[in-house]
Chains A and B, each alone.
Chain A
Amino acid sequence: MNSRSDPVRHVRPEDRAHHVWFEAGAWLGLAALLLALPFVVILAGNPPAADSFLRDFALGLGFAALSLAGMQFALTGRLKPLLHPFGADIVVVFHRFLSWGLVALMLGHFGILYIWYQNDLGVLNPLEARPHMTAGRVALGCFVLLVVSSEFRKRLRLDYLWWRRLHVALAVSGFGAAIWHVLGASHFTREDATRALWLAATLAWLGLILWIRVLRPWDQWRNPWRVTENRDEGDGVRTLVLAPEGRPLHGWRPGQFAWLTVGTSPFALQEHPFTISTAPDKGPELSFSIKPLGDDSKRLSNTAPGSIAYVDGPYGVFSIDREADASGFVMIAGGVGVTPIIANLQALEERHDPRPVTVIYANNTWDDVAFRDELVRIGRTIDLRVIHVIKDPPEDPKRWPPEGFETREGMVDEALLAELLPTESRDWPHMLCGPAPMLTAVRKALLKLGVSRNHIDSEVFELV
């Protein structure tokens, strides 16, 4: 094997499994410390004497919920060091489940006081109530609305862009109201040290928001990109080529994505994630291959050359370069989930990587299949087998089965995987990308076939 095709050469030390787990552990440890900090500071000071257990427990729930709420801003702030060990999709799942838990803690805090300690709460009428108590109730309302509007966004027919704006507005006002509530209630926050801690936490939180919503977009705004080409790739796929007019992007791994803003300012919360389809060692131009499925990808795929664009990236951990010791790859894609898989294949092609790759690519119809010809082209250079799995194939016998393609009819299930995957591939990384229900089904089938959990890696599309 020459150095050009040595796959280990492309794996960075920080992407090695033990390093990734160490980083993940460090972040979780830090989160636990931040959660414990308010309690330690209150108890180490000169706290008021214990009341009834239930009342003190209820107040404790409030502090814990607020600490967790503060952390949520870091989770959704696209902080690269935080995303590195987990992956952006896992952090979003964590954010979502943590939200349920912390709203339950807040409801517990309010519920216990409402039922057993009504005097503490005072009147509910905001015109007569103490303002900081109203602030607490406003905060609770904001957090409940945040969870409901996110869980039921589609059922509520909430447009993605408006949902995002609402999400940011509710989160900022909810957290601000909660801080006001804690400092106003001041039962445990009378001590100087406690007040200093809450002030520091509030300032850190404001700093985080300033960085995420103002300074980072500002940096993007100062480093624009220009669309130099919008070409048709066939199969309904269009590729946008962007040239940097400021600082170029460096160091992305194959399969990573960037948030792309075209036609509006980077402050407008209108960016969308797209896989970077330029090989990592090439540049400084970046290309993004877009299959126009949603309204926004349709709009982006119609971008005229000369338009200004903004790029925030790279993000994502769905990369062959995270798999140092793989002797081959199984990649399973559903629909538009194929884009990071194409980028990984192009990197293998670029490096003349000799390892065998099996791609199982599921689509509803044969016309939905993107990158059909690109897959054939890549297969001329690397050891690649592509199987197209089509749920509703064409009825026209001239069109199905298509000549020159390996195809199956139906869905990707255990029987199909058992048939298509050779036994030696059980120890290869299985890289899954597509809609969540498909990933769940394929993961179960792979586990039944004897693939170890450690060899299944996935990236979820469509999180909200």
Chain B
Amino acid sequence: MRPILARIFAALMILLALGLAIGFALLLPAA
């Protein structure tokens, strides 16, 4: 596999992490 794919996979994981953190903050029940 090409090294660029490793960077793309890593970037996707970080984006997913950001997305999950945003989703988490939005989905917490309101007080």
Contact = CB atoms under 8 A, between A and B. Distances in A.
A85 B30 CA distance: 44
Interface of B: 1-3, 5-7, 9-14, 16-18, 20-31
Given A43-B27, A53-B26, A36 B20 contact: yes
A31 B13 contact: yes
B30 A50 contact: yes
A352 to B, nearest CB: 30
Contacts of B1: 24, 85-87, 90, 317
Contacts of A292: none
Given A47-B29, A60-B22, A35 B3 contact: no
17 contacts: A24-B1, A32-B16, A43-B24, A47-B28, A50-B28, A56-B28, A57-B24, A57-B25, A59-B24, A60-B25, A86-B6, A89-B3, A91-B6, A94-B7, A94-B9, A96-B10, A97-B6
B30 A49 contact: yes
Interface centre among B9, B18, B26, B31 (most CB of A within 10 A): B9
A10 B21 CA distance: 47
B16 A453 contact: no
B21 A57 contact: yes
Interface of A: 24, 28, 31-32, 35-36, 39, 42-43, 47-51, 53-54, 56-57, 59-61, 63-65, 67-68, 85-87, 89-91, 93-94, 96-98, 100-102, 104-105, 317, 453, 456, 458, 460
Given A64-B21, A460-B3, A43 B9 contact: no
A98 B10 contact: yes
A28 B24 contact: no
Given A56-B28, A87-B1, A97 B21 contact: no
A125 to B, nearest CB: 29
Interface of chain A, main secondary structure: helix
B10 A65 contact: no
A29 B18 CA distance: 17
Contacts of B30: 49-50
Interface of chain B, main secondary structure: helix
Given A90-B1, A90-B3, A94-B6, A35 B14 contact: no
B10 A101 contact: yes
A342 B17 CA distance: 43
A59 B18 CA distance: 11
Given A28-B9, A31-B13, A64-B17, A93 B3 contact: yes
Nearest to A89: B3
A91 B6 CA distance: 7
Contacts of B10: 94, 96-98, 100-101
A102 B28 contact: no
A146 to B, nearest CB: 16
Contacts of A56: 24-25, 28
Given A49-B28, A49-B31, A90-B1, A35 B16 contact: yes
A243 to B, nearest CB: 35
Nearest to A109: B21
Given A43-B27, A49-B31, A35 B20 contact: yes
A435 to B, nearest CB: 13
B4 to A, nearest CB: 9
Given A28-B9, A90-B1, A458-B2, A39 B14 contact: no
Given A43-B28, A50-B25, A57-B22, A101 B5 contact: no
